[in-house]
Amino acid sequence: MFRAFVLVGRFTKGESGMRRPPALVYKRKLLCDSVVDFPYCPSTYVIFQNDQAYPTHLIQY
């Protein structure tokens, strides 16, 4: 298991099967950086670009 710093940026509610993030509502040419399960109290974030995560520790047990 890895512990990582993750840049979540601007997010919106995600849907299953998404291959890429949706466009921002107020700027159609820009995409969201990540999606979440519940926008008002997120517990799960999904990122779409590998460079948004920086592993800091390898946890072995």
Q: What number of other Cβ atoms are within 10 A of residue 33's Cβ? A: 18
29: left (phi over 0), alpha (psi -120 to 50) or beta: alpha
The tokens of 36 are what? Answer: 């979440």
Taking only the tens place, the pLDDT of each residue in 50-59 is: 999 999 999 9
pLDDT, tens digit, 9 for 90 and up, residues 1-56 = 999 999 999 999 999 999 999 998 777 789 999 999 999 999 999 999 999 999 99
